[in-house]
Amino acid sequence: MLNVGGRTAYTADHEQFRETVRKLFERELVPNLDRWEHEGIVDRDFWLKCGEAGLLCPQVPEQYGGLGLDFGYAAIVDEELWYSGSTAGLPLHTDIAADYLVDYASEELKQAWLPKMVSGEAIAAIAMTEPGAGSDLQGVRTSARRDGNHYVINGSKTYITNGQNADIVIVVAKTDPTLGAKGISLILVEADREGFKRGRNLDKIGQHSADTSELFFEDVRVPITNCIGAEGQGFAYLMNQLPQERLSVAIGAQAAAQRAFDEAVKFVKERQAFGKTIFDQQNTKFVLADIKTRLQVGWAHLDWALARHIAGELDQFEGAATKLWHTEMQWEVVDACLQLHGGAGYMNEYPIARLWRDARVQRIYGGTSEIMKLVVSRSI
């Protein structure tokens, strides 16, 4: 169980919500983890149960079926999800996709989709990355051409989380290729639109139960009213939401690093070598002491970042620095913890193997560590 003693970001109400999250995950997530990893996708039924328990999109206003709560409640779901060893696409749905609708969409789109996202009836994805455009979103080539009162969308996306399960996709597309960043718009595409196709569920190094897909758009017609916010403002909206997206990744990194540490402590206290436990070896104690210190610093920093974000004060530079530090720390910690497992760490039957695999992409998606350094450098 994730030890949350001494945390400063949460109130008693937050911690009561955490108990709800833990009970549902213990009952519905943990027993299914291995099967979902093997099948490469999380059951739709799990999403519905999360929705019924209030775990999806708790920040959505009550008039759209949500609980109208602060981001701290979503952060708790992220912490418990990652600590459990799961990479299900709940954070993408809740922390990233939902707020594009809450903050920018028309009342019609909000009424149509937010209640279903809260209940788990509709799963959301956001399609940014393309085969030729990753961190440089201005380089996207997917187009949305006006044709009367419709857009006609053509292009392809890749590495899209929730791609197999998604009922709606927020597509980053060029509505005016001549305007650069000012020609990018966000357009909601329903998965049952003619011309929309899902590619294969991609075979990844880790995060196996998080369905990740290629998506194809071939003359997909959607109404002009499916544009989220103003046409041509998509890039600005993406930049506005990045601090929360990057904070969400950092939260998962911190929780997963803590789980790796807890697994390593348990293992070295049980395993014998040279007549005593591995824990009793001085090197082991030094390694664990270093990790515990990093985790202590990490939790304090995360609470600081959470408090600033809930207050609306976390800027793009702080968000980038938060993701950079926590994901780099996560990788160093899980790798050191796998090393403490010895050969057992390379066996998939031990949780540390999954934690290690799942950690690698954290330094890539949501903006690579190199891009995070570039962003932070702009504030200097």
The residue from 83, 104, 122 where one domain ends is 122
Query: Do 204 and 181 share a structural domain?
Result: yes
Residue 85 maps to a domain? yes
Query: Do 106 and 151 share a structural domain?
Result: no
* pLDDT higher than 90, residue 137: no
Residue 305 maps to a domain? yes
Query: Do 352 and 341 share a structural domain?
Result: yes
- The pLDDT mean for the chain works out to 96
Query: Quick one: average pLDDT of 13-40?
Result: 97
Query: Quick one: average pLDDT of 324-346?
Result: 98
Query: Do 196 and 253 share a structural domain?
Result: no
Query: Please, which pLDDT band fits residue 192 given cuts at 50, 70 and 90?
Result: very high
Rounded Cα gap, residues 145 and 177, in angstroms = 10
Q: Is 168 in contact with 188 (CB distance < 8 Å)?
A: yes
Backbone angles phi, psi at 60, to 5 degrees: -65, 135
* One-letter amino acid of 213: S
DSSP state, residue 112: H
Query: Do 75 and 169 share a structural domain?
Result: no
Question: Which among 261, 248, 253, 244 is positioned nearest to 3, based on CA atoms?
Answer: 261
Share of the chain above pLDDT 90, in %: 93
Element (H, E) at 189: strand 184-190
Rg, Å, the chain Cα set = 21
Q: How would you class 195 by CB atoms within 10 Å of its CB: exposed for 0-12, middle for 13-18, buried for 19 or more?
A: middle
What pLDDT is stored for residue 134 in this prediction?
64
The four Cα atoms 230, 235, 238, 243 give a dihedral, to 10 degrees, of -130
Would you call 68 helix, strand, or coil by DSSP?
coil
Question: Which among 281, 278, 256, 283 is positioned nearest to 352, based on CA atoms?
Answer: 256
* pLDDT higher than 90, residue 2: no
For 227-246, how does the pLDDT look when each residue is reduced to its tens digit (9 = 90+)? 999 999 999 999 999 999 99
Active-site residue, from 37, 80, 245, 263? 245
The residue from 199, 216, 232 where one domain ends is 232
Rounded Cα gap, residues 303 and 27, in angstroms = 28
Rounded Cα gap, residues 278 and 155, in angstroms = 54
Distance (Å) of CA 227 to CA 41, 149, 169, 231, 233: 29, 11, 12, 7, 10
Contacts of 153 (CB under 8 A, 6+ apart): 142, 143, 144, 145, 171, 173, 187, 189, 195, 217, 219, 220, 221, 222
Query: Quick one: average pLDDT of 357-370?
Result: 96
What pLDDT is stored for residue 132 in this prediction?
78
Query: Please, which pLDDT band fits residue 69 given cuts at 50, 70 and 90?
Result: very high
Q: CATH no. for residue 304?
A: 1.20.140.10
* Torsion-angle region of 335 (φ positive above 0: left; ψ -120 to 50: alpha; else: beta): alpha
**CA geometry: angle at 289 spanning 263 and 261, to 5°?**
15
Q: Does 349 participate in catalysis according to the annotation?
A: no
3-state helix, strand, coil in the chain (%, to 5): 55, 15, 25
Instruction: Look up the pTM and report it.
Output: 0.95
The residue from 122, 142, 169 where one domain ends is 122
Query: Do 249 and 219 share a structural domain?
Result: no
Regarding beta strands 196-201 and 150-161, do their DSSP bridges make them parallel or antiparallel, or are they unpaired?
A: unpaired
Rounded Cα gap, residues 281 and 288, in angstroms = 11
Query: Do 244 and 366 share a structural domain?
Result: yes
Structure tokens at 17: 């919500």
Domain that holds residue 248: 235-377
Number of folded domains that form the chain: 3
Rounded Cα gap, residues 238 and 320, in angstroms = 14
